[in-house]
């Protein structure tokens, strides 16, 4: 059974592997940091947030300072989809940002309570509505 | 305590200590506990007997209407700019001071902090023979160390007695702004200790027999720059509370004491139960996020906020250990109670917006911090600009919670990236055109761009991070009251966007000057000039950096009179790059600026910011890219270089096939240049922060905290933090210039 964890990542519960949701590529053990299965690139932030003010006239130009901020881009090694970005000061260890209890996840999905068909990305999500007494509107 | 102490000796000792407390300062027993207290005996009896759900529902509706009415009274009559935009609250509390309900408008954060001062009053003043709590009393308070968001907010708190019995508490709170601090407007970034923060009202009685005491009112008026505002809004808050009191008494007359008391308690317990149920729905595990604040508002210094959210069954633990230590002499600290209030706001604003606004929302969530960190600051430290960490708390949920709950078949709100989280507005002070002294801030603080969603772009300048029901106010009203003239307003900040498959909502430019004042000045309190503040989600990019731009040494009104053609449009980027006024001084500086004099016709220019983006930019629908171009939100370079769309610049017709190929090529380029994670980390990861980077907080190990002392890097243990003392930036600058001068003198052969 496959469980979507982010826009680009899912966990195949049977094999306990991370997978790319765009190309189905296996990305490593679900009990490990998914980043281990990805490619990383250290971006100069000025390439993504280009200077809008003349950098000959000003040092602050709406671009982040590359000595303070770098952008780590994580790519699927197979399809090149960007799976995650991480803004960090130079040399800061990347974060282990998703560490799920795989046994708990398996138990939940085995019960079927959380089961759902694979969604198309970007589709409208069902939003559960509470009774009017609980709704606070201005 | 000696084990052999007899029980009555112990009681005597306790009594002695209680009677002889030197100073009733902020009480950790109150201030460190954000949970709803246990049922009182009366509540227990009532709930055991049982209540009719229909009656509870009915009473809850009536209370909601009453709170709404009190809110509207403050909103309509309040003199403070904050009142006009909804920066206020009315609330009802149980007899023990647990906050049950707030008005369904305004600032959610109040739902998680207004009860602290009431608990202080209950604990200390009820039984104190020199104070006491009686029918007709009203208590005032503003010091956030005793509860509240920050010291600009003033509360009016009133016990409600019914047939001689204290049944519940009522309150109104308004962000008044001016409070006599070392800078006008109530949020002094220049504060170096708590004594620079202006009046510090611990909770005290200011109303007796339902009337304000004129002697105390005069004292407070004498302590602030805006005595008229101080008086007017104290009256407004009092009369709004009195109206609320009338309404609650009529509910009591109709339904009886037990139904009211039972309803307030049931409301709290129902919300707690629902929060626990929602936590149980989440998969067990831990998700993490780091936020960086790049400024103390006096100098650039990188401060880390580290968060791990762990869910186990129906327990949720937010672990902030490893965050930056507090500053001894910078205003960007917050105490833990205010920080928790902002956490509650963020949860309601971004994750579970359908829950009732009450302290019970946060009550089941466990929060772990390092004492004396920037988010759990204690002692004499200033916290006048606590908005900096508080705004971070408002958005800190978005990334880790979406990583926890994306797998759920049902969620309670959109999957959303971080909203722009800076107080991007002008704080001002000086003499108005009417000759009055004033100090406050502009409603633009409420115009933060929304984060992108999993299925839609973020909305532009939608609301503040701390309350989705606030307005940005009317500049015309502001111009009537203050000498501020808006030369550019509500113009979306082109090209300053969090990119993604869906983009963040944009912020807008604010270009302000002053006219007709003998003395006026501005300050701005934002981080994010070096390190972007609003984070994207699932590969969406953050917003860019923003800064403060100034054009000084000019009177723009003379320019507009003499050479009106000189300025084509009031657009920050054009003004700064084209420099249309010769002889003026143009500068682009950090968005943290302490109070500075603005002469007539000089320009101060800032932006509200964009929310973070969502998803891979290469997945953005080319039609949406064209729409952004058509709406002039961004330039062609972005469409080509970031989104990789091939199209005709004249007609905006997309070449679908060429775009597909361009994006495919770019994906291949990514796989060529990217390196396997482990191999990358071997080169990338440093054992400690870069030598030249002023950095405070943990690096790789949350137990080891990096900090600075006298310009040198030091480390401390996370559980033994002490404050970071920063040198005066002017002294630092003088030292730099003296060094340069000495070098110059040596190179030219001159002496000292
Ligand atoms: Zn892939």
Q: What is the pLDDT of residues B507-563, one digit of tens each?
A: 999 999 999 999 999 999 999 999 999 999 999 999 999 999 999 999 999 999 999
Number of domain units in chain A: 1
A18 interface with B at CB cutoff 8 Å: no
Interchain pair B407, A4: CB under 8 A: yes
A68 falls within a domain? yes
Interchain pair B286, A61: CB under 8 A: no
Q: How much is the pLDDT for A126?
A: 42
Tens of pLDDT, residues B265-296: 999 999 999 999 999 999 999 999 999 999 99
Tens of pLDDT, residues A78-120: 999 999 999 999 999 999 999 999 999 999 998 765 544 343 3
- Position B749 confidence tier, pLDDT thresholds 50, 70, 90: confident
B354 interface with A at CB cutoff 8 Å: yes
Q: Which chain B residues touch A127 with a CB distance below 8 Å?
A: 410-414
Q: How many residues does chain B have?
A: 752
Interchain pair A60, B589: CB under 8 A: yes
Interchain pair A7, B587: CB under 8 A: no
Number of C-beta neighbours around residue B410 at 10 A: 12
B454 interface with A at CB cutoff 8 Å: yes
CA distance B186 to B559: 34
A129 falls within a domain? no
Tens of pLDDT, residues B32-56: 999 999 999 999 999 999 999 999 9
Token pair of B573 as six digits: 């980027």
A130 falls within a domain? no
CA distance B427 to B523: 5
> Which site among B268, B269, B579, B670 would you substitute to test the A interface, given the most A Cβ atoms closer than 10 Å to its Cβ?
B670
Ramachandran region of residue B608, left (φ > 0), alpha (ψ -120 to 50) or beta?
beta
Interchain pair B576, A124: CB under 8 A: no
CA distance A86 to A69: 10
Shortest CA gap B747–chain A (Å): 27
CA distance B414 to B418: 12
Token pair of B516 as six digits: 């007709």
pTM of the predicted protein model: 0.94
Q: Which chain B residues touch A129 with a CB distance below 8 Å?
A: 354
Tens of pLDDT, residues A53-64: 999 999 999 999
Phi (first) and psi of residue B51, to 5 degrees: -125, 155
B682 interface with A at CB cutoff 8 Å: no
Domain that holds residue A103: 2-118
CA distance A54 to A61: 7
A42 falls within a domain? yes
Query: What ipTM is given for this predicted complex?
Result: 0.94
The residues with which B717 forms a beta bridge, in sequence order, are: B704
B729: enclosing H helix or E strand: helix B729-747
Token pair of B396 as six digits: 């800190």
Residues 90-119 (A) with a CB less than 8 A from some CB of B: 90-101, 104-105, 108, 114-116
Interchain pair A64, B530: CB under 8 A: yes
Interchain pair B544, A62: CB under 8 A: yes
Calculate the dihedral angle through the C-alpha atoms of B319, B323, B327, B330, rounding to the nearest 10 degrees. -90
Residue, of B21 and B23, whose pLDDT is higher: B23
Taking CA–CA distances from A2, the nearest residue in chain B reads: B407
Q: Are strands B437-441 and B592-597 parallel, antiparallel or unpaired?
A: unpaired
pLDDT over 70 (residue B656) = yes
A53 falls within a domain? yes
Show me where the domains of chain B are located. Answer: 53-182+196-277, 282-679
Torsion B134-B140-B146-B148 (CA) sign: positive
A136 falls within a domain? no
Shortest CA gap A15–chain B (Å): 18
């Amino acid at each position: 059974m496959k469980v979507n964890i982010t826009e680009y990542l899912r966990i195949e519960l049977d094999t306990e592997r991370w997978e790319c949701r765009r190309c189905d590529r296996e990305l490593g053990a679900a009990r490990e940091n998914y980043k281990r299965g990805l490619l990383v690139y250290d971006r100069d932030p000025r390439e993504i947030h280009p200077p809008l003010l003349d950098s000959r006239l000003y040092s602050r130009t709406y671009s982040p300072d590359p000595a303070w901020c770098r952008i780590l881009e994580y790519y699927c090694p197979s399809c090149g989809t960007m799976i995650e970005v991480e803004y960090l000061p130079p040399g800061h260890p990347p974060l282990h940002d998703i560490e799920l209890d795989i046994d708990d996840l398996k138990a939940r999905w085995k019960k079927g309570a959380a089961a759902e068909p694979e969604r198309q990305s970007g589709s409208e999500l069902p939003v559960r509505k509470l009774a009017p007494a609980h709704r606070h509107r201005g | 305590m000696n084990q052999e102490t007899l029980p009555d000796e112990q009681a005597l000792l306790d009594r002695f200590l209680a009677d002889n407390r030197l100073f009733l300062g902020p009480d950790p027993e109150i201030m460190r506990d954000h949970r709803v207290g246990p049922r009182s005996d009366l509540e227990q009896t009532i709930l055991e007997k049982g209540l009719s759900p229909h009656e509870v529902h009915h009473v809850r509706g009536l209370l909601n209407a009453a709170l709404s009415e009190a809110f509207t009274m403050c909103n309509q009559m309040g003199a403070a700019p904050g009142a006009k935009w909804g920066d206020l609250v009315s609330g009802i509390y149980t007899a023990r001071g647990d906050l049950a309900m707030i008005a369904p408008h305004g600032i959610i954060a109040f739902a998680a902090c207004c009860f602290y001062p009431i608990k202080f009053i209950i604990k200390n003043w009820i039984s104190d023979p020199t104070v006491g709590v009686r029918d007709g009393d009203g208590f005032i308070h503003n010091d956030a160390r005793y509860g509240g968001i920050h010291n600009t907010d003033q509360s009016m708190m009133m016990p409600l007695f019914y047939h001689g019995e204290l049944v519940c508490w009522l309150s109104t709170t308004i962000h008044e702004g001016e409070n006599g601090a070392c800078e006008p407007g109530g949020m002094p970034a220049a504060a170096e200790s708590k004594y620079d923060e202006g009046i510090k009202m611990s909770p005290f009685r200011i109303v007796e027999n339902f009337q304000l005491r004129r002697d105390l009112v005069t004292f407070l008026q004498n302590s602030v720059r805006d005595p008229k505002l101080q008086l007017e809004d104290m009256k407004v808050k009092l009369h709004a509370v009195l109206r609320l009191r009338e309404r609650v008494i009529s509910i009591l007359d109709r339904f009886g004491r037990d139904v009211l008391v039972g309803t307030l308690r049931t409301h709290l317990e129902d919300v707690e139960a629902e929060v626990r149920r929602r936590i149980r729905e989440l998969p067990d595990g831990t998700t993490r996020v780091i936020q960086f604040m790049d400024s103390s508002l006096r100098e650039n210094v990188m401060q880390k906020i580290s968060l791990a959210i762990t869910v186990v069954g129906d327990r949720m633990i937010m672990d902030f250990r490893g965050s930056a230590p507090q500053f001894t002499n910078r205003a960007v600290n917050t105490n833990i109670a205010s920080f928790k209030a902002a956490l509650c706001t963020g949860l309601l604003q971004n994750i579970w917006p359908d829950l009732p606004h009450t302290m019970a929302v946060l009550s089941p969530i466990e929060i772990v911090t390092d004492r004396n960190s920037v988010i759990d600051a204690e002692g004499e430290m200033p916290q006048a600009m606590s908005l900096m960490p508080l705004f971070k708390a408002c958005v800190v949920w978005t990334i880790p919670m979406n990583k926890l709950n994306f797998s759920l078949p049902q969620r309670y709100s959109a999957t959303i990236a971080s909203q722009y989280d800076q107080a991007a507005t002008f704080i001002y002070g000086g003499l108005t055109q009417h000759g009055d002294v004033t100090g406050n801030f502009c409603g633009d603080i409420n115009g933060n761009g929304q984060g992108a969603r999993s299925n839609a772009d973020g909305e532009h300048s939608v609301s503040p991070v701390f309350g989705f029901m606030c307005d940005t106010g009317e500049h015309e009203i502001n111009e009537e009251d203050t000498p501020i003239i808006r030369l550019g307003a509500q113009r979306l900040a082109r090209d300053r966007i969090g990119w993604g498959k869906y983009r963040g909502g944009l912020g807008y430019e604010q270009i302000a000057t002053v006219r007709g004042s003998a003395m006026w000045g501005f300050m701005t309190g934002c981080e994010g000039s070096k390190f972007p503040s609003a984070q994207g989600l699932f590969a969406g990019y953050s917003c860019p950096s923003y800064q403060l731009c100034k054009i000084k040494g000019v009177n723009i009104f003379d320019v507009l009179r003499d050479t009106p053609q000189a300025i084509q449009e009031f657009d920050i980027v054009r003004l700064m790059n084209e420099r249309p006024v010769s002889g003026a001084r143009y500068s682009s500086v950090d968005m943290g600026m302490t109070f500075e004099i603005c002469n007539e016709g000089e320009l101060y220019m800032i932006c509200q910011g964009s929310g973070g983006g969502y998803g891979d930019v290469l997945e953005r629908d080319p039609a949406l890219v064209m729409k952004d171009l058509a709406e002039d939100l961004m330039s062609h370079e972005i469409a080509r270089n970031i989104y990789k769309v091939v199209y005709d610049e004249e007609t905006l017709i997309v070449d679908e096939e060429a775009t597909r190929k361009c994006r495919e090529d770019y994906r291949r380029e990514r796989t060529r240049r990217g390196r396997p994670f482990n191999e990358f980390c071997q080169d990338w990861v440093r054992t400690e922060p870069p030598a030249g980077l002023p950095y405070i907080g943990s690096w790789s190990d949350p137990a080891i905290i990096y900090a600075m002392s006298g310009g040198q890097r030091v480390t401390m243990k996370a559980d033994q933090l002490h404050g970071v003392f920063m040198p005066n930036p002017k002294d630092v600058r003088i030292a730099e210039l003296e060094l340069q001068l000495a070098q110059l003198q040596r190179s030219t052969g001159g002496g000292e």
